[in-house]
Structure 1
Amino acid sequence: MTSPDPTRSPAPDAPVGGAGVIETTGIEIIAESERTARPRDLVWPWFAANVSVFGMSYGSYLLGFGISFVQATVVAILGIIISFLLCGLVAIAGKRGSAPTMVLSRAAFGVHGQKVPGIVSWLTSIGWETSLAISAVLATATVFDVLGVGSGQTVTVIAAILIAALIVTASVLGYHTIMRLQSILTWATGAMTILFMILTIPHIDWAAVASMPSGPPQAMIGALVMVMTGFGLGWINIAADWSRYQKRSASDASIVAWNTVGGAAAPVVLVIVGLLLAGSDPELASAIEGDPIGALISILPLWALVPFWIVAVLTLVSGAVLGIYSSGLTLISLGIRIPRPAAAAVDGVILTVGTIWVAFFATSFIGPFQSFLITLGVPIAAWAGILIADILARRADYDERALFDPRGRYGSIDWTSIVTMVVASVLGWGLVVNSFTEAAPWNNWQGYLLQPLGLGTYVDDPAGAYWDGNWAYSNIGVLLALVLGFSVTWFARRGRIRRQERGA
C-alpha cells in the first residue's frame, strides 16, 4: 500500500500542527491551511539574525591567519555566500516536508538513527545561542561601565537575566511572533548598523590596510573554513525550520535564493568593514579577542553608545532566538515528550546558566568559542553533506507519515548514513587543530592525522606547544567532512532513495 500524496494533505498518521497566539506546533507536520509563507519571507529571520555588529569582529579573526586585506575579503565573500547557499539547499527540505530540519533528516538517517546527528545539532544550537547571549551581556557591561551607570557583578547578573528572558519569551511564543519581530528588527537594526559603520570610517588607516603582507593559500583555506563555520554552517542544522511554513508551490530555486540573500547580505558588508578596522589598528584587533562588542564600542563617540548598545543587543538576541527556538524542536525530535514552549524554556534555563558561568568564570571568550565551532563544525559538516546529497537526489516530496514511523519507508536506522557521518567526522577531526590550547585545553586531542600524512609537526615547546606547517591550521578537516559526506551519499544511497520514493 502506497502512502498518501503529501502534496494534497498531511499524511493521516503524522501529527499535524495548529495555530495560536503561542505556537504549540512542535515537530508535527504543518497543516496545509497554515502554509502561507512566501520565499521572500525568509529574508526576515536570516537578515535580522546576521546583521549583528558581531560580524565586524570577524575581520580581526580573519587577519589572525596572517593573510592580507584582499585575501581576507575574497575569503569572506566566498565563505559567507557559499555557506548560506548550503543553508538554502537544506531549506528546500522544509518546503517539501513541512517539518523541522531534524525530523526531515530522518529520511537520510532513519527515524531512530537521526538521533545521532540530532544530539550534535542540539549541542551546536545550545552553544551558538549561549555565545550570542554572552556577547550581549559583555556589551551591556562594557557600555554601562563606560557611561558610569554601573559596573561589576550586579550589572552582569541583571543583564544576563534580562537578556535570557527576552530570548526565551520570544522563543516560547514561537514561529509567527518571531517572524513578525524579525521583520521589524531587520529594518530598524539594519539602518542603525549602517550609521555605526559610517561612524567608524575615520578610524580606517587605508595605508596600513594596503600594506598588509599576503599569506599562503593554506592560511586562506583556514580562514575560509572559519568563516563558513561561523556563518552559514553555524545555522545549517536549523535551516528547514524556517521554510516549513512555505507553500508547496514555491520553487526550490526561490527558497535557496532568498535564504542566501537574507543570510549573506549583511555579513559580507560587516566583515569587510571589520577587516578595514582591524587592519588599521592592531590594538583594536587584539581587544576584539576578549570582548568583541566592547572593543568596537571603544571607537564610537559617547553619544552613540546607548543606541549602539541597543542595536547590538537586539541583533544578538535575534540570532539567539532562532537558535533556542530550533534547539527546542531538536530536543523534542530526540524523543523528549514535552510541548514545544516547554522545550524552549528548558533550553532557556541552560542558556542562562551557561551565560552567567562564562561571564563570571571564563577568562577568554573567543578561544573556547572558536575551538567549539571547529570541533562541532566537523560532524555538522559531515551531516550537512549527507543531507544535501539526499535532498538533491530526491525527485518527490517526503512521505510525511514515514518520518514518524520506524517501520515506514525510511526505516529505523540507515547504517550507510550513520557510518558515513562517523567516518567523515573521525577523518575530519584528524585534520583540524585546536588553535586555542591554553583557553580550551580540553580540545587538544585533535589533529592526529597531520603528522602521519606529513601535513604538520607538533612542537612541544616549553614556552607553549604549537603545530608547525602551512596546512596545520587550515582546518581542512571541515571541508573534507562536508565533501566526503556528500560524495558517499550521492553515490551509495541513490538506489535506496529511489526505492524509498517508490514506497518499497
Structure 2
Amino acid sequence: MSISPAAPEGARTAPLVETTGIEIIAESERTARPRDLFWPWFAANVSVFGMSYGSYLLGFGISFWQATIVAVIGIVLSFALCGLVAIAGKRGSAPTMVLSRAAFGVHGQKVPGIISWLTSIGWETSLAISAVLATATVFEILGIGAGSAVTVIAALAIAALIVGASVLGYHTIMKLQSILTWATGAMTIVFMILTIPHIDLAAVMSAPSGPPQAMIGALVMVMTGFGLGWINISADWSRYQKRSASDGSIILWNTIGGAAAPVVLVIFGLLLAGSDPALNTAIESDPIGALITILPLWALVPFWIVAVLTLVSGAVLGIYSSGLTLISLGIRIPRPAAAAVDGVILTAGTIWVAFFAQNFIGPFQSFLITLGVPIAAWAGILIADVLSRRADYDEQALFDPKGRYGSIDWISVGTMVVASVIGWGLVVNSFAEDAPWNNWQGYLLEPLGLGTFVEDPAGAYWDGNWAYANIGVLFALVFGFAVTWFARRSRIRAQERTA
C-alpha cells in the first residue's frame, strides 16, 4: 500500500477540518504568501515563557550585557536557519520530514524522523506543563482551589484546547494564530509595563562577566530553546506557499515572526531575573507561575488566560507537526487521528510531570541538549541539501524508494550518526540530580582535555570552562552541513539530471 503523492486538484478551499496529510499540496491550494508565515511563528513565540530564559541565561554565570548579546545572536540566527529549511516547503509542497527524504532516502529518513517526533512531543508537552503549572499557581493565589483535582482538570482542559485546534488543521490554526498574535502581544506589553517597578538596574548591572566558554554554552541553550527547537517543522508551514514566492522573503518572514518577540522577552526577563534572586529561583520550578506572582491581583486572571493561550499556541504547532511526522514514519492513519494520538501522549506526559517531577527546568534543559545534538546534525544536512539544489523536488520520488532519492542515503545517515556520537561526547548533563538518566554524555571531554569529571561527596560535577559550553550542538550543526555540502553535491546534481 502506498501513500498518494498528490492531493486532488480542485479540493475544497479552507475546510473546517484539514484532511490533507503528508501528500503533496495541490497547486489550487497553494495560495499563501511569505508574510503569512509571520502569524504562526510570532503567536507561538510571544509567550511569556520566553522571559524565563533570562533566568536560564544568568545561570551560566554571565553578565546582563553578555546575556543580551547571546540572546540576540542565538535567537535571530536559529530562526534564520528555520527560514532556510522552510524554503524546502515552498519547493516541494510537503511536510518537513517528507522533504527530508531527498537527503536521507525514503526509508533512511525514518532515522531523523523518529528523533523529530520525540522532539516535537517533548516540546509540546513542556509547553502544556507550563500552562498547567501556571493555572495551578493562579488558582492557589486566588483561593479558588488547589491540589490534585485542579491539576488534573487544568491538564485535561489545556490538552483539549491543544488537540482540538491541531485536529482541525492548517487553515484553522493560521486563523487562530493571527488573532492570538494581537491579543497576546498586547497583553504581554501590559505585563511588561506592570512589572517595570520590579526592575533594579543596579542589581542587574552588578552581575560579573563570565568567560567566553560560558557565553558559548548560553548561546547553545538559546539556539536549541528557540529556533532549533522548531527547525524540524519549519517546512510544514511553508508548504502552502505559492511556487513564485521568493526564497529570501520566506527566510525573512520566518526570522522576523519567530525572533521578534523572543528577543524583547528574553532581554526583559534578564532585567527581572537579575533584579530579584527569589524570582530567579522560583522560575526553575514554575516559569510562568513565578512571573505571574509579581503582578497586581486584578491582573492575574486576564494575564493567566493570555499566558495559557500563548503556550497553547506553541503546543498546537508542535502537535500538528508531530502528527505529520508520525504519518511519515509509516503509520497509516488520517492526519486528524495522528494529531489525536499525539494529544493522548501529551496529556499523559503533562499529568505525570505535574504530579511526579520535582523540578521542571532541569529535565527540560537536559532534554533540549540531548535531542538538540541529532536535530542540529539533521538541520545541517538538510540546509546544505536545500542550498545545493537548483530545481524543485521530484514529488513522486519522495514517496518511491526506487525513485531518484533512493531508499537509504548512507552518506546522510552516516553523517548524522557520526555527528551525534561525537556531539553527545561534547555536551554534559548540567542537571545530573534532576535528570540522572542523561549522565552518560560528555565522554569525549576528558580525552580531549576539555574538562574533568570530579566525584565529590556533595555531588559530582565537571571542572573546566569548556565542560558546560555544550559545543557538541554547534559541532553537529557545522559537521552535518560541511560533510553534506562537499560529499553529496555530485549526487544531488545526478538526481537533478535525471528529472
TM range (shorter): over 0.9
Say if 2:176 is the partner of 1:181.
yes
Gaps (5+ residues) in structure 1? Answer: 1-11
Q: In the superposition, relative to structure 1, how do residues 99 and 201 fare at CA in structure 2: closer, same or farther (>3 Å)? A: same
Give the equivalent residue in structure 1 for 2:308.
313
Residues 222-261 of structure 1: CA deviation (Å, up to 9, x unaligned): 0000000000000000000000000000000000000000
Name the structure 2 match of 1:5: none
1:425 — aligned with what? 420
1:250 match: 245
- 2:4/2:23 contact within 8 Å kept: no
Corresponding position: 1:93 with 2:88? yes
Displacement of 1:503 in angstroms is 1.3
In 2: Cα distance, 1:356 partner to 1:14 partner: 38
Which residue in the other structure is 2:298 paired with?
303
The match for 1:16 is: 7
> Offset at 1:94?
0.1
Establish whether residue 230 from structure 1 lines up as the match of residue 230 from structure 2.
no
- In the alignment, what sits opposite 1:9? none
- Whole-angstrom CA distance in 1 between matches of 2:80 and 2:104: 23
Helix, strand or coil at the partner of 1:200: helix
Q: State the shift of 1:15 in Å.
A: 2.9
- Give the % identical residues: 86
Alignment of 1:353 with 2:344, yes or no, is: no
Give the one of 347, 368, 375 matched to 2:370: 375
2:40–2:177 CA contact under 8 A, matched in 1:
yes
1:364: which partner in 2? 359
Instruction: Determine if contact 2:155/2:350 at 8 Å carries over to the other structure.
Output: yes
- Secondary structure at 2:447 match in 1: coil
Q: Which of 78, 81, 101 pairs up with 1:83?
A: 78
Distance 2:446 2:168 in 1: 51
The within-5 A match list for 1:50-449 is: 50-449=45-444
Amino acid at match of 1:404: F
Do the aligned residues in 1 keep the contact of 2:104 with 2:413 (CA within 8 Å)? yes
Letter in 1 for 2:394: D
1:189 positional shift: 0.5
Alpha-carbon distance between aligned partners in 1 of 2:390 and 2:4, rounded to the nearest angstrom = 23
Any idea what SS the aligned residue of 1:412 has?
coil
Q: Deviations over 1:330-386 (max 9, x none)?
A: 000000000000000000000000000000111111111000000000000000000
SS at match of 1:289: coil
Question: TM-score, with normalisation over the residues of structure 2?
Answer: 0.98
Sort the Cα spacing of 1:321 and 1:13 in 2 relative to 1 into closer, same or farther, 3 A. closer
Shift of residue 110 of structure 1?
Answer: 0.1
Give the letter for the 2:367 counterpart. Answer: F
Per-residue Cα deviation, 1:123-167 (whole angstroms, up to 9, x for no partner) = 000000000000000000000000001111100000000000000
Q: 1:32 to 1:302 in 2, by over 3 A?
A: same
- Give me the whole-angstrom Cα distance separating, in 2, the residues matched to 1:400 and 1:13: 11
Distance 1:440 1:256 in 2: 36
Task: For structure 2, list consecutive stretches of 5 or more residues without a partner in the other structure.
Answer: none
- Give the distance between the partners of 2:160 and 2:487, measured in 1 at CA: 46
The structural deviation recorded for 1:16 is 1.5
Q: Give the ranges of 4+ consecutive aligned residues of structure 1 lying more than 3 Å apart after TM superposition.
A: none
Helix, strand or coil for the counterpart of 1:356? helix
Q: Which amino acid aligns with 1:322?
A: L
Residues 391-419 of structure 1 show CA distances to partners (whole Å, capped at 9, x for unaligned) of 00000100000000000000000000000
Output the amino acid matched with 1:423.
V
Amino acid at match of 1:406: P
Q: How many residues align?
A: 493
The alpha carbon displacement at 1:298 in A equals 1.3
Q: 1:147 to 1:483 in 2, by over 3 A?
A: same
Task: Return the TM-score normalized by structure 1.
Answer: 0.97
> Is the Cα contact below 8 Å between 2:38 and 2:254 reproduced in 1?
yes
Kindly state the Cα deviation for residue 308 of structure 1 after the two structures are TM-superposed.
1.0
> Is contact 2:25-2:240 (8 Å) kept?
yes
Match of 1:490 in 2: 485
Output the amino acid matched with 2:89.
G
Secondary structure of 2:462's aligned partner: strand
Instruction: Give the whole-Å Cα distance in 2 for the aligned partners of 1:41 and 1:470.
Output: 43
Tell me the equivalent position of 1:8: none
Shift of 1:13: 6.6
Structure-2 residue corresponding to 1:3: none
Which letter maps to 2:212?
Answer: P
- Which amino acid in 1 is paired with 2:300? L
* Helix, strand or coil at the partner of 2:453: strand
Cα shift readout 1:196-220 (whole Å, capped 9, x = no counterpart): 0111110000111111100000000
Q: What amino acid is the match of 2:103?
A: A
User: What secondary structure sits across from 2:284 in the alignment?
Assistant: helix
